[in-house]
Structure 1
Amino acid sequence: MTAEARRAKIVELVRELGTVRVVDLAERLGLAAVTVRRDVATLADNGALHRSHGAVSMPAGGTSPTVPEGRERVVGMLVPTVRQYFDEIIDGARSAAIAVGARLVLGIAPYEAGDDRAQVDQLLESGVDGLLVTPNWTPERPDGHSSWMRELPVPTVLVERRAPVDSVCVALDSVSSDHRHGVMLALRHLAELGHGSVALAARQNSWTAFQVRAGYAEGVRLLGLEPQPVIDIERPGRETEAVAARIAEGVAAGVRAVLVHNDQEAIQLVPVLRARGLHVPDDVALISYDDVFAALAAPPLTAVAPPKRAVGAAALELLLRRLGGGELPVHHVELLPELKVRASCGGEAV
C-alpha cells in the first residue's frame, strides 16, 4: 500500500474499533509496527487522530479538532491538466484528503488558457477552506504576475511550483519536486557508464521543462561533461523525426547518450531512431524524464521519477496543518526524484 492508502485504512480501523493500541493496528494491517507508528504520528500531527501512551483514538467528537463541527474540510486544487504527470499528483492529494476525512474539489486552468485567477475565484465561490495551486508560470514570467495569490482569503500552498525570491509569492507555502536534482541523477548515471557528453532534448512550454534545462546546465558543469546545445522540442509529439535527426548527428559526432523530457517524446523516439539504424541502448543510451509510462516502452526506459504522488500528499497535509492554526513558519518543501534504472541506458537494470 502507498502511505496515503495505509493512513486511510488506519483512520477507518480506529473509527471502527475506538481506542486501539498501535501494535494491534500493525498486526491487523500486516505491517511493521514502526511503519504504523510513523503513519499514526503524521495523522496525529494533522489532527486526524489522537494518540497517547501507545494507543490511538479518534479526536474528541470523532473528527479532527480543526474541522468545523458537522462539516468536513474542503480543499480546492487547481492544476493545468489532469493527464499524465498531474494524474499522480491529484491522486496523492486525494488519498491524503480521504485519510483525514477531507474532500478535494478540482479546477483546471490549461497552460494555453491563462485563466488561473478565474478558476481560483470559482473554487473560492464553491466554499473551499484552502487551496492547492499549480499556477501557469513560464520561464519568461517566472511568477506569472501572480501577486494576487498573496491576497487570497484562504491558506494557499503552491504545488510543483516555487516562487522566485523576489516575488511576493515567496511568502506562500510550496511543495515541489527538485527537478535539478533529478537531472543530476540522470547525468551522473550516464557519466558513470562512461559517457563524457550527454545531449538534452527538452520541451520549452512548461515550468518543469525550465527546471530540467537549468538542471542540465548546472549538472554538466559540475560533472565536467562536455556541454551540448539543447535540442528544442517546440511542438511536443509532432516533431519526432527532427529530434531524431539531431540525436543522430550527435551520435555521429560521438555523443551517444541523451536525456529526453518527457516520456511521450522518449517513447516516440525509440522506433524512429531504429529506422535510422540507431538502436537503444546499443548505439545510444536514453533516459526519460517523468516516469509516467517509461516502464511500458520497448525497451523499458530508464527514467527520472519525480515523487508525484508524494508531492500531492505532502501539499495536502501541509495545507491542513496551516488550516489547523497555531504558529507555523512558511514552508518551501522540495522532494527528491529517484532514478529508475531499466534497459534503455545500457546499465544494469534494477
Structure 2
Amino acid sequence: MTITAEERRSQILEVVRDLRTVRVVDLAARMGLSAVTVRRDVAVLADDGLLQRSHGAVSLPRPKPTAAEGADRVLGMLVPTVGSYFDEVIGGARAAAADAGARLVLAIAPYESADDRAQVGQLLDSGVDGLLLTPNWRPAGGESGLWTGGLPVPAVLVERRPPADGEGAPLDSVGSDHRHGVLLALRHLAALGHGSVLLVARADTWTAHQVRAGYAEGTALLGLEPQPVIDIRRPGVDSEAVAERIAEAAARGVRAVLVHNDQDAIQLPPLLRARGLQVPDDVALIAYDDVFAALAAPPLTAVAPPKRAVGAAAVELLLRRLDLGSSLPVHRLELLPSLEVRTSCGGAGEAG
C-alpha cells in the first residue's frame, strides 16, 4: 500500500525522535524507501524547522533557550584590545551567545599590561559561568601572562593555543591557523614568479610569532629564498624605516612583501612611491589581517583569518563544555584563513 508524503514524513520524525541522530542512508534503509525520496522529505521537514541536517545526518533541532533561561548563562570574554581585529572576533562571539540565549561580558587587558589575572578575577567575581580567554602570552614567555591552571569555571582559549606541557594544556582552544595563512600568501606570490618574499612583522604578540614561524616553514616548503625579517618595533610609527628597508631589498631584486598587519601595510604604498617604487608595478604587497586592507590605495591583497567564525565557534564550544563537562574531549579547533586577492600584488614578479 502506498503511503502519502505526510505519512512518510511523520514516520521519519518518529524514527529521528527514537534514534536522536541518524544518517539519511540508514534512515532510508530502515524505512524501505529510496535515499532520494527520504532526502526530499528531510529537506521539507528541515525547511519547516522540524529537523536539523548536518553532514549527511539528521537530528531533532536543539530547542532555543527562553530569555529567562539565557539570563542565567553568562560568558566572560578577555581580549587584549578592542577595535580592528578583535572587534570581529567579539562580534562573532556576541552573535553566537545571543543566538543561544546567553549574555557576553567583556574585559580588556592591553598587550602592554600585565593585567590578565586581575581582569579574569573581575570576570569570575561577577559570576560568569564560563570564560573565553585571549591571554597576553609572549612568544618567549609561554603562558607567563596568565595563570590558567585550576580555573573554577570552564574556559576556552581564543586565538591562542597552549603548549602541551603548560598549565593551559587541558583547556579547549579555538583559533586561526596563522601559519597556513602565511603559506597562502607565499604560495600566491611564488605563483606570480617571485623567488623571494620579505616579511615585515611585529615580534611582541603570540600571533606575530605564529606569522614568523609560518614564514620560516613556508619559504622552506616552497623553495623560496628566505630573507631577514624586517621588525616592526613601534606599530604605526616605524613605517619610514620599513619603507627604506623594502626599497633596499627591491634594489637587490626582492620585490614581494608580506606585512603583518593592515595598519602598517596601508602606510607603505605612498612611502614606497616617494622612493620610486609603485605598488603593484614595482613591488607586490600583501597585508595580514584584512581588517582595513580593502580600503587602501591601491586595495591590498590580504590574508583574512576567519575572525567572526573564531568568536562564534569559541562560544559554541564553551556552551558544549558547560553542558557536557569532562565527558567532552578537549578540543583544539584551528580554522583556516583565506586569501583575498586585490590590486596590490598584480605585478609581474620578475625577480626575487
Query: What do you get for the CA RMSD once the two structures are aligned?
Result: 2.3
Percent identity between the aligned chains?
71
Three-state SS of the structure 1 residue aligned to 2:235 is coil
Three-state SS of the structure 2 residue aligned to 1:184 is helix
Deviations 1:78-128 (A, max 9, x none): 000011000000000000001110000000001111110100010011110
Equivalent in the alignment of 2:46: 22
Equivalent in the alignment of 1:117: 117
Partner Cα distance (1:347, 1:324) in 2: 52
Equivalent in the alignment of 1:328: 328
Q: Residue type matched to 1:314 in 2?
A: A
Structure 1's 69 and 226: CA in aligned 2 closer, same or farther, altered over 3 A? closer
Deviation at 1:149, TM superposition (A): 1.5
Equivalent in the alignment of 1:202: 201
Please say if residues 77 and 106 of structure 1, whose CA atoms lie closer than 8 Å, have aligned partners that are also in contact: yes
TM-score (normalised: structure 1): 0.82
1:97-108 pair list within 5 angstroms: 97-108=97-108
Give the gaps of 5 or more residues in structure 2.
1-43
Deviations 1:55-95 (A, max 9, x none): x5736xx549xxx9584310000000011000000000000
Three-state SS of the structure 2 residue aligned to 1:250 is helix
Q: Residue type matched to 2:47 in 1?
A: V
1:1-350 pair list within 5 angstroms: 21-24=45-48, 37-38=53-54, 52=60, 56=61, 58=63, 63=66, 71-144=71-144, 146=146, 148-325=147-324, 327-346=327-346
Deviation at 1:168, TM superposition (A): 2.2
Deviation at 1:218, TM superposition (A): 0.7
Deviations 1:131-166 (A, max 9, x none): 0000000112122253x3221100000000001122
More divergent stretch after superposition (136-145 vs 333-342): 136-145
Structure 1's 192 and 156: CA in aligned 2 closer, same or farther, altered over 3 A? same
Please say if residues 71 and 103 of structure 2, whose CA atoms lie closer than 8 Å, have aligned partners that are also in contact: no
Partner Cα distance (1:347, 1:270) in 2: 14
Equivalent in the alignment of 1:11: none
Please say if residues 72 and 101 of structure 1, whose CA atoms lie closer than 8 Å, have aligned partners that are also in contact: no
Structure 1's 70 and 37: CA in aligned 2 closer, same or farther, altered over 3 A? closer
Structure 1's 105 and 156: CA in aligned 2 closer, same or farther, altered over 3 A? same
Partner Cα distance (2:107, 2:235) in 1: 24
Q: Residue type matched to 2:203 in 1?
A: Q
Partner Cα distance (1:165, 1:155) in 2: 18
Between structure 1 and structure 2, the one with the greater Rg is 2
Structure 1's 78 and 70: CA in aligned 2 closer, same or farther, altered over 3 A? closer
Please say if residues 86 and 307 of structure 2, whose CA atoms lie closer than 8 Å, have aligned partners that are also in contact: yes
Q: Residue type matched to 2:78 in 1?
A: L
The ranges of structure 1 where at least 4 consecutive aligned residues each deviate by more than 2 angstroms after the TM superposition are 36-39, 56-59, 68-72
Partner Cα distance (1:144, 1:347) in 2: 44
Please say if residues 341 and 347 of structure 1, whose CA atoms lie closer than 8 Å, have aligned partners that are also in contact: no
Give the gaps of 5 or more residues in structure 1.
1-19, 27-32, 45-50
